[in-house]
Amino acid sequence: MRFAQIVMGPAGTGKSTYCSYLEKHAQVTNRAIRVVNLDPAAEKFEYEPLADVRNLIQVEDVMEDEELKLGPNGALLYCMNYLMDNLESWLLPEIGEEYDGDYIIFDCPGQIELYTHMDLMKRFVKQLEQWSFRVCGIFAIDAHFLTDGTKFIAGSLVALSTMVNLEIPHMNLLTKMDLLSKSDRKNIERFLEPDAHDLLQEEAETPWNAKFLKLSEALGKVLDDYSLVKFVPLDIRKSSNMENILLIADMVMGVSEDADVKVKDFEEPENEEESEGGRDLDREFTNYLEGLNVRD
């Protein structure tokens, strides 16, 4: 059995940063986790890829093809199609056929249509499953886009369409928590265990929201009733956040059956004392992150 996280989400939400952080976390905690870049338009990332789709095909080359005449988005979709047609011949040799128990993170492009309604990623998941992978979808959303009730409904619906389209265990990451102000950070707690009705009532004052409140409420009720969408915060300064995310992914993929998961641990680092096996993991991460190109 092999394990995989497929890291998806809109452009710039922090997918590659999460992958770099996870790779480092794995090194520090002695877990064998490797990252594969599946973004043929990637300019730069900080991890050491196990495989890189740009060695197979690149968006720039496709755009230069005079017969195809494709712009950036069309070229990306062309590349992803090409990748799906070459999974057996290119990807499998790159990641190896005979490993057991290994764990691979696939860093995907930021084109949202790949996840919400196209079948390319679905084909990818099916292929991984045929190669004995258990797969977990990780959908990254920037925490700044989840600061009120209407944004919550919108973000949840995108996450939900990805979940429904791919039909795999799924986790939503709230990225860039470190960039939120203290009050926004406190505020966002409401969205981790959300009650869509309460959240939307706060928004009802504007004419636009009042007009569409019924629709939003109906959507919120679906989310509430079926507990369809939950968000897990990621503050990249904190190794404990990373550990929680890994534990959840482990549980949904059946890596570890009895893991104890905390999902709300995103207080300021200075408020907490953390000691993991005598090592100051947060300090190790801080040192590591100083070397990464992470925005302040």
Distance CA 217, CA 234 (A): 28
Q: Contact between 255 and ligand GTP (CB under 6 A)? A: no
Shortest spacing between CB 41 and ligand GTP, in angstroms:
8
Count the neighbouring beta carbons within 10 Å of the beta carbon of residue 251: 17
Q: Contact between 37 and ligand GTP (CB under 6 A)? A: no
Here's the x/- map for ligand GTP, 113-152, by CB under 6 A: it reads as: ----------------------------------------
Q: Exposed e or buried b for every residue in 68-89, given b needs 16+ CB within 10 A?
A: eebeeeebbbbbbeebbeebee
Mapping DSSP to helix (H, G, I), strand (E, B) and coil, where does residue 37 land? strand
Q: Contact between 49 and ligand GTP (CB under 6 A)? A: no
Kindly indicate which of the ranges 11-19, 129-137, 201-209, 243-251 contains the residues binding ligand GTP, using the contact rule CB under 6 A.
11-19
Structure tokens at 106: 């696939």
Mapping DSSP to helix (H, G, I), strand (E, B) and coil, where does residue 52 land? strand
Structure tokens at 231: 């968000």
Shortest spacing between CB 233 and ligand GTP, in angstroms:
10
Which C-beta is closer to ligand GTP: that of 200 or that of 281? 281
Contact 135, 163 (CB under 8 A): no
Number of residues that bind ligand GTP (CB under 6 A): 18
In 16-81, at which residue ranges do the beta strands (DSSP E only) sit? 33-37, 51-52
Q: Contact between 293 and ligand GTP (CB under 6 A)? A: yes
Q: Contact between 172 and ligand GTP (CB under 6 A)? A: no
Kindly indicate which of the ranges 25-33, 91-99, 174-182, 271-279 contains the residues binding ligand GTP, using the contact rule CB under 6 A.
174-182
Q: Contact between 15 and ligand GTP (CB under 6 A)? A: yes
Distance CA 44, CA 47 (A): 9
Interface residue with ligand GTP among 2, 5, 17, 138 (CB under 6 A) is 17
Q: Contact between 175 and ligand GTP (CB under 6 A)? A: yes
Shortest spacing between CB 15 and ligand GTP, in angstroms:
4
Shortest spacing between CB 126 and ligand GTP, in angstroms:
23
- Got the DSSP string for 176-238? -GGGS-HHHHHHHHHHHS--HHHHHHTTTTSHHHHHHHHHHHHHHHHHHHTT---EEE--TT-
Q: Which residues bind ligand GTP (CB under 6 A)?
A: 11-17, 39, 42, 110, 175-176, 178-179, 236, 293-295
